[in-house]
Structure 1
Amino acid sequence: MVAFYAIILLILATIVANTIYPYFPIIPKAFYQIFMGALLSLVPMYHHFILEPEMFMLIIIAPLMFYDGQNANAHELRRNVGSIVSMAVVLAVLTVIGMGYLSHAILAGIPLALAFALAAIVTPTDAVAVSSITSNMAVPERVMGMLERESLFNDASGLVAFNLALAAFTTGQFSVGAGIKHFFVVFLGGLLIGLVLGIAAVMVRVYLVQSGKDSSSVVVPFDIMVPFLIYLAAEHFELSGILAVVAAGLVYSASTNQLRLSSTQLQLVSRSTWGIFTNILNGFVFVLLGVSLPTVWVNIQQDHNKSLTSFILLAVILYLVMLALRYLWIRLDWALIHSEKENRPHNALVGALSGVHGTITLAMAFSLPLTLHGAAFPFRNTMIFVAAIVIILSLLVPTLVLPFVLPKKTVTVDPETITQQRKALVAYASERLIQENPDTPASAQSVIEVLNSQATNARPDRKKTRDILKQATQVEVETVQKLADDGVIPNSFANRYVRVLVIKSQMSRNNPFVNLSLWFRFVWHRVKFMLSRKWRRKKRIALQQQRLQEMPHTPQQEQLQQQRIQQETRQLQRHPHRDPRVQARQRENFLKIEQDIYTNIINFLTQISTVDNQAEVNSVRNYYNARHRRFEENKSADFQNELFIQAFQYEYTYIRQQRTAGAIPVELADELYQQVSMDQMLYTQEIAGTD
């Protein structure tokens, strides 16, 4: 149970950090997650928290790398093989070698093999972290493409170099030739086994689709299990599990046409599931960094033979040297991104600053063994601490510097304009539906209700909603009064209906205590009325019996009087509201007025509806639709589907008319077309799923 609670708290911390981030997006999301992790370290179960390294790599890193490979553009990768080799292999290996010797020189006492392991830890970059920092900045396309391709493969280079360094330290033996040979075996072997198993996974996926077993409950869990199984298989053969899952992800990316044979609904569910899953895992890494830092800090302070200042200095030097290496590599065009000569200094600066370290760096730091030959692994806390400082510096420096180097990202289409036009096209489609289907207002309103829910997520203003509801109530009262004046319903029923309606209206406007008081007053009035009616009947029966005894009467009069007494007694014994005939009459009267009330209310709401008050009008409309559906007979589902198709066609018509008239630009029209197409696709999938 302790492990369960620990995982739940980690998820909760990640959710809280992700919730706070949109309010202050100027600070990268990773910092919020690190801070929440630091707060979580105050919980007793996280004191001296240590994560199992093998489980960390398997559970967190394997699916993240598979997802990155799955979303990579295979065509772009083939076109930029040279750039990938240059940045992810050559530069990565040179960085490990250079940083290894530098770490060994600065930090006295650390073995050379562990210095190389530390260099391998801080070498890989993280494109996801870069994207979170530069989300509002216009990063040059060539530089961003280089960063994404580099981060996909230099993780594997760093991991292979890291494993070689650890093996050299634990065994005490290292040969340059054997090391290079082992590097290529692990590197290429991981790619090969990943390709083979990835092709096998795609074939299974295609078989499930072709055999009709492509439900989301089968395919999505299968896809999630693939990276774990492939990683375990590669590690079993002592090959690179990370490269294996990357290669499998690339096979998935290259097999897009075959995988598209699955239903659109399945593709949407799969994409959404993977997006949520990887978002949580990325958050986990930085939350775990925040959780672990206090423990690492305490352990380092307790080790009096180590200097905390020298660790921080080492981390700063490593970061600055890597920054300079990246700048020179891109500036001299050894990165092979082929940028124009006049743009190289700018691209080199952006590319160097964007070398952010994140998930893989922390993962490798955590994957350091806990023990060696029965004793604590030497320098483990030191290496984790240095890696954490490098991560924080690589996040902090570009956050402060890049806004002065890069321009703000220009939005092609203003989101507010999209929202306004979305409301307008829904309003147009709603009006056309009502005009074209006057005989079936309830079915049309059901379709309009769904369209309005897709148009905006804005919450209705309570005051505006109350005002519109008050006006709608007045329309309802006027309708009932007219029906009573025309003799359609009895005046007594109209009075009772309006009285209840006014009471409900008052209750909706007042505070809860006033509502409760009104409700009790209404209930007490009904109780007194029933009790007094019962008492009056008893009094009438007693009076009739007394008259029957005192006054002279004929047999016919006596018989008539007895019939009246029996009738009053039956009425006394039977509650009038439980009389089926009374209930039938009341329902008949209500059905007489419901259709007229509903029609007049919907017409009124349609007349006052604008783009600005659409959320409030929809709220009131939904209330009357829900009430009306209780009394409206269910219409054919096929007919409602036809109305939905009509509505989508009206939305397309609105976009085409606005585009032809020049009222909206091409980009906005394309965005609206995509949104309507997505809504139509989702609705079509829903119909197919219910057939």
Structure 2
Amino acid sequence: MALFTSTFVLLVTVALANLVAQWLPIPKTYLALLAGIVVALIPGLNHLVLNFENEIFMVLILAPLLFFEGQTTPMVKVGKGIPSILGTAFALAIGSAVVATVGLHGIFAVSLPLALVMVAISTPTDATAFESVITGRKISDRLSNQLKMESLFNDATGLILLQAGLLWLKTSEFSFSQNIGKLLISAVGGTLVGAVLAVAIMLFRQALVRTEENVISSQTLIYLLTPIVIYLIAEQLGVSGIIAVVVAGLIHNGEANGSRFTAPRQMYLGTQLMNFISEILNGAVFVILGISLERIVQEQYQQMFQSLQWLWWGVTVYLALLLCRTIYAYFFIAQHRWRTSWLFALGGVHGTVTLAMTFSVLGMLPTSQFQQVILMETVVIILSMLVPTVLFKRLLPQDGDALSKTKILAQIRREMTAVGIQRVQELDLPESVKHVVIYDLQDQNKRNPLQAYLRRWRGIISHHEAISFLQSRDQRWAMMQAFASERAFLADQARRHVVDVTLLHDIYTEVLMSEALVVDPYSRMV
């Protein structure tokens, strides 16, 4: 019951944050973060949400998110970017960890093992958090892809470095060759396990979908459970579950592109579920982050002001990682351009993966050390989000296309709907049929007020003939004629390059979906 209540509170908070984000010029991820803080500040709500559980977070939230993220990434793009991935996710991560560890040790006399633990936790970057700090700004696709690839694969490096630091703390011995070996085994093993399991699941699903015994509900359940199963098996085998689910997602991208029309209903349902669950989980990640940060402040309030060491540690680690990223980018990514180097460095945003790794060491460190670590990591997370948010406003141009997209879409819909209505007016049909069809067409651009909807709704539920009428052949035929005219209008707009073709595709897809609702024999709402 406690788990259900906690999940319910989180989902409602995500829903409200996403709604409010439509009315405020603030990225929805920041609003989700703020919403989480508000929940933690209200005692009646705070006690309903369970404490952060690292394993649950990794299995039920992070694994599906990374799987879906991998699925939206073409395998060919990863193949071309392997040198860059190896450089940023492994070489840069290890090199910057060494520099930051030595820096902490040299400046603050922190023991090397403890310094490595703190730096390792700060190593993974977060693609979702990065998207939140560039909202409304333009950044090159090349740089954005590099940051995305880095965040997909550097989690494993951070986890191995963390294990090395904890072992060093426990045994007072550090073996560089042994830890590099573990990193290679974890990464390569995760890649192999993820690939083998993903291919096996893919072949099973593809064999099933090509028979008359295919069941969409069963296929969809298998698909949704895939990242969870692969992550658990990989972790049980002692390899990186994170890399395993990323690789599985990449393989499923190829499957999706290679069998889009074998079972279109199944493909469409899977795509919509992936987009829906990704958006919900992304929101939940930041709500959880907000709740966790507020609880950390509440629980560590006295510790925070006894000593500010944690603050200076956090600032030092963030600046050290930022400096290393800038230098690496200058020589290996930005072709000796400082501006691009700074953009890459600032794009290394830290988020919930860092928080999850922080809580994973609970019980492995003395209480006083853990308190210092959790406060220090909080500083790194906050700085990595706030600093680029501020600086990107100066370094990156405003995305004017994003700002005008809503107005452009509204204008196209109005013109398109007028074309559909004109076509209906030309048909030789009873006026009563035209009236109902025109009402439905006007719904495409939200021209029908709430009062009109209520009148329509009362008529539908109170008169049996109205229900029969909605299913009439004349109405279906009229709607199909209107939709055909609308699609022809959009195609003409695309040929004449009136607006960006991606905007037209967005509306064209909506028209096709509307037509499917009219003609689909399996639709139970018409």
Correspondence for 2:205: 205
Correspondence for 1:675: 507
What are the residue-to-residue correspondences of 1:511-522 with 2, within 5 Å?
A: none
What are the residue-to-residue correspondences of 1:467-486 with 2, within 5 Å?
A: none
Distance 1:424 1:30 in 2: 34
State how many pairs are aligned: 520
Task: Tell me the SS of whatever aligns to 1:260.
Answer: coil
Q: Is contact 1:300-1:382 (8 Å) kept?
A: no
Higher deviation after alignment, 130-139 or 674-683 = 674-683
Correspondence for 1:370: 363
Correspondence for 1:223: 223
Distance 1:636 1:64 in 2: 41
Q: 1:149 to 1:225 in 2, by over 3 A?
A: same
Q: Is contact 1:365-1:387 (8 Å) kept?
A: yes
Task: Tell me the SS of whatever aligns to 1:174.
Answer: coil
5+ residue gaps, structure 2, are: none
Structure 1 residue 687: Cα displacement: 0.9
With normalisation by structure 2, the TM-score equals 0.88
Q: 1:640 to 1:190 in 2, by over 3 A?
A: same
Correspondence for 1:71: 72
Q: 1:420 to 1:45 in 2, by over 3 A?
A: closer
Bigger relative contact order (CA 8 A; separation at least 6) = 2
**What amino acid is the match of 1:351?**
F
Q: Is contact 2:194-2:247 (8 Å) kept?
A: yes
Structure 1 residue 72: Cα displacement: 1.2
Structure 1 residue 678: Cα displacement: 4.1
Correspondence for 1:132: 132
Correspondence for 1:609: none
Correspondence for 1:34: 33
Residue of 447, 457, 460 corresponding to 2:446:
457
Structure 1 residue 626: Cα displacement: 8.3
Q: Is contact 1:69-1:249 (8 Å) kept?
A: yes
Q: Is contact 1:56-1:367 (8 Å) kept?
A: no
Distance 2:448 2:471 in 1: 32
Q: 1:261 to 1:669 in 2, by over 3 A?
A: closer
Structure 1 residue 427: Cα displacement: 2.1
Correspondence for 1:325: 324
Q: 1:308 to 1:69 in 2, by over 3 A?
A: farther
Structure 1 residue 370: Cα displacement: 2.9
Distance 2:255 2:494 in 1: 37
Residue of 490, 501, 522 corresponding to 1:689:
522
**What amino acid is the match of 2:441?**
L
**What amino acid is the match of 2:81?**
N
Distance 1:219 1:388 in 2: 41
Task: Tell me the SS of whatever aligns to 1:23.
Answer: coil
Distance 1:17 1:415 in 2: 20
Correspondence for 1:522: none
C-alpha distance after superposition, 1:438-468 (max 9, x if no partner): 3x44444443333322x223663x8xx7xxx
Q: Is contact 1:189-1:240 (8 Å) kept?
A: yes
Distance 1:187 1:659 in 2: 45
Q: Is contact 1:53-1:368 (8 Å) kept?
A: no
C-alpha distance after superposition, 1:559-584 (max 9, x if no partner): xxxxxxxxxxxxxxxxxxxxxxxxxx
Distance 1:359 1:627 in 2: 51
Q: 1:656 to 1:70 in 2, by over 3 A?
A: closer
Q: 1:92 to 1:688 in 2, by over 3 A?
A: farther
Residue of 360, 380, 400 corresponding to 2:390:
400
Distance 2:164 2:80 in 1: 30
Q: 1:235 to 1:636 in 2, by over 3 A?
A: closer
Q: Is contact 2:68-2:249 (8 Å) kept?
A: yes
5+ residue gaps, structure 1, are: 466-615
Q: Is contact 1:442-1:628 (8 Å) kept?
A: no
Q: 1:690 to 1:287 in 2, by over 3 A?
A: closer
Structure 1 residue 222: Cα displacement: 1.6
Distance 1:328 1:257 in 2: 38
What are the residue-to-residue correspondences of 1:298-447 with 2, within 5 Å?
A: 298-302=298-302, 308-332=307-331, 334-335=332-333, 344-370=337-363, 379-411=369-401, 414-438=405-429, 440-447=430-437
Q: Is contact 1:37-1:289 (8 Å) kept?
A: yes
What are the residue-to-residue correspondences of 1:608-687 with 2, within 5 Å?
A: 630=465, 634=469, 637-655=472-490, 665-667=497-499, 671-672=503-504, 674-681=506-513, 683-684=515-516, 687=520
Distance 1:632 1:317 in 2: 68
Q: 1:301 to 1:680 in 2, by over 3 A?
A: closer
Higher deviation after alignment, 99-108 or 68-77 = 99-108
Q: Is contact 1:285-1:362 (8 Å) kept?
A: no
Q: 1:281 to 1:385 in 2, by over 3 A?
A: farther
Distance 1:206 1:308 in 2: 59
C-alpha distance after superposition, 1:110-139 (max 9, x if no partner): 542232121111111112222122121111
Task: Tell me the SS of whatever aligns to 1:667.
Answer: coil
Higher deviation after alignment, 77-86 or 252-261 = 252-261
Structure 1 residue 248: Cα displacement: 0.8
With normalisation by structure 1, the TM-score equals 0.68
Task: Tell me the SS of whatever aligns to 2:401.
Answer: coil
Distance 1:410 1:192 in 2: 43
Correspondence for 1:82: 83
**What amino acid is the match of 1:323?**
L
Q: 1:4 to 1:625 in 2, by over 3 A?
A: closer
**What amino acid is the match of 2:78?**
L
Task: Tell me the SS of whatever aligns to 1:379.
Answer: helix
Structure 1 residue 315: Cα displacement: 0.8
Structure 1 residue 683: Cα displacement: 3.1
What are the residue-to-residue correspondences of 1:144-159 with 2, within 5 Å?
A: 144-159=144-159
C-alpha distance after superposition, 1:649-683 (max 9, x if no partner): 221343466678x6xx4335664355234422553
Distance 1:66 1:658 in 2: 37
Higher deviation after alignment, 175-184 or 409-418 = 409-418
Q: 1:197 to 1:644 in 2, by over 3 A?
A: same
Q: 1:85 to 1:657 in 2, by over 3 A?
A: closer
Task: Tell me the SS of whatever aligns to 2:271.
Answer: helix
